[in-house]
Structure 1
Amino acid sequence: MVGSIVHQLTKNASIEEIKAAGLDSYYADHDTGIYPVNASGVPFTAAYIQSKGDPIVDLTEDLAAEQKARATYEYLIQMLDDPDIIEPLKFLREREVVHYQRFGEALRIVQDYIQEPRLFTMPKPEFLK
């Protein structure tokens, strides 16, 4: 959604407006197309996706990712004065809060499951019957 907002803001911009916005180096590589990079211009990589295979570790990482995204939306909102941009960012920020809550619930469920005692029974082999 943020990429769509950027696209809508730049699709009809003149070269002068692009330069004034500090987007000239981006434009030289990508025109006004959306290319996923961070604020420093570092391209997205799958290395950003954290997975250890342990549900507690992975859910904790998911919680952190949601909080980082929420903070980013808050920083963007603080920098802006255009309500047509602020309102979708507020929606996205609130969505991150809900995701955080759901990951927290999932983490509690996993932790509770791990704490439950288990009784494993083995069927009696045929030769012992």
Structure 2
Amino acid sequence: MFFQDPKLQYEVTVEQPDPHFAKLLQQAIGGQEGEMRVALQYMFQAWALPEEYEAYRNLLMETAAEELGHIEMLATAVTKNLRDSPKEMGDDAQETAAAASMTGQNPRQFLSAGESAVPVDSNGAPFTGNYIVASGNLAGDLYANVMSEAAGRTLATRLWEYTDDPGMKDMLSYLIARDTMYQNQWLEALESLDDPVPVPASFPQDEENQEVNYTFISTRREEQPNPDHPWTEGEAPDGKGQFSYAADQPGDGNVVAPDPDPMTSDDPNRTDQ
């Protein structure tokens, strides 16, 4: 169940409306690094958890709800950058194509949404649920969440560097700070799990190929010596194995495909074609 409050999570002000920046902000809404992705990702992850993981379910749902608030903030920012702008589409730019070229804005923001935000990325591509990672494995999902927040923070910092508008910098500074918290909370949640790696930890490791499960295998054509990196020697992070190094691939098996069914063959020598 959801409730809504008619106020923003954080104040959004725009001192110098910029339709082009509104187009860039769309990436933070409907792009692969955007807030729609993480809000839905955390929800679907939470909905998959059984009762004994109630604390993690709550953590995910609390964060998902906050991310919905971020979508609202960004949509508000897009609208404020599009409207009351000296570059907005008006009497001097009735032709849509000419207006879009002049302002650099996404034409759909004007044509489909009346100068407001749309659920697309900065190129106008619609948001897709294919961005969402919700595997049903808590550890795997938490690792995916760290990556998602790292990508989101990177995007937000690039937007912060791009704009000179004080209000937009202030809003983005808030979102960047929340990304700092999210990365740390997901890492802390991972630390609280008994066996976060390898994922899934429930699989019996004695069923793995024991010759390669902790071996870094070089793919170089010419044999290379062990570079003595932390991932080629020493104890693995899961504490269950020792890293080793192999200079070449196992190299076995036949890549030639077996003969196809005669009914599907394009053999020119077939007599029944």
State the TM bucket, normalised to the shorter chain: 0.7 to 0.9
Q: Does 2:145 match 1:71?
A: no
Shift in Å, 1:40? 1.7
SS of equivalent residue, structure 1 residue 15:
coil
Give the corresponding residue for 2:195: 114
Matches within 5 A, 1:1-129: 1-13=73-85, 14-15=88-89, 19=100, 20-23=102-105, 25-26=107-108, 27-110=110-193, 113-114=194-195
1-structure distance, mates of 2:172, 2:116:
20
1-structure distance, mates of 2:159, 2:106:
21
Q: Percent identity?
A: 23
SS of equivalent residue, structure 1 residue 30:
coil
CA shift digits 1:90-124 (9 cap, x unpaired): 110110010110000001111xx238xxxxxxxxx
Q: Classify 1:24/1:53 alpha carbon distance in 2 versus 1 (closer, same or farther; 3 Å).
A: closer
Shift in Å, 1:52? 0.8
Shift in Å, 1:69? 0.6
1-structure distance, mates of 2:174, 2:163:
15
SS of equivalent residue, structure 1 residue 106:
helix
SS of equivalent residue, structure 2 residue 195:
helix
1-structure distance, mates of 2:105, 2:117:
12
Name which one, 1 or 2, has greater alpha-carbon Rg: 2
CA shift digits 1:5-41 (9 cap, x unpaired): 1111113343158633212522123221221211221
1:21 maps to a residue whose letter is T
Structure with the higher helix share, 1 or 2: 1
2:89 maps to a residue whose letter is I
Q: Classify 1:61/1:24 alpha carbon distance in 2 versus 1 (closer, same or farther; 3 Å).
A: closer
1-structure distance, mates of 2:103, 2:161:
18
Q: Classify 1:12/1:28 alpha carbon distance in 2 versus 1 (closer, same or farther; 3 Å).
A: same
SS of equivalent residue, structure 2 residue 192:
helix
Q: Which runs of 5+ in 1 are unaligned?
A: 116-129
| Deviates further, 31-40 or 60-69 | 31-40
Q: Which runs of 5+ in 2 are unaligned?
A: 1-72, 94-98, 197-273
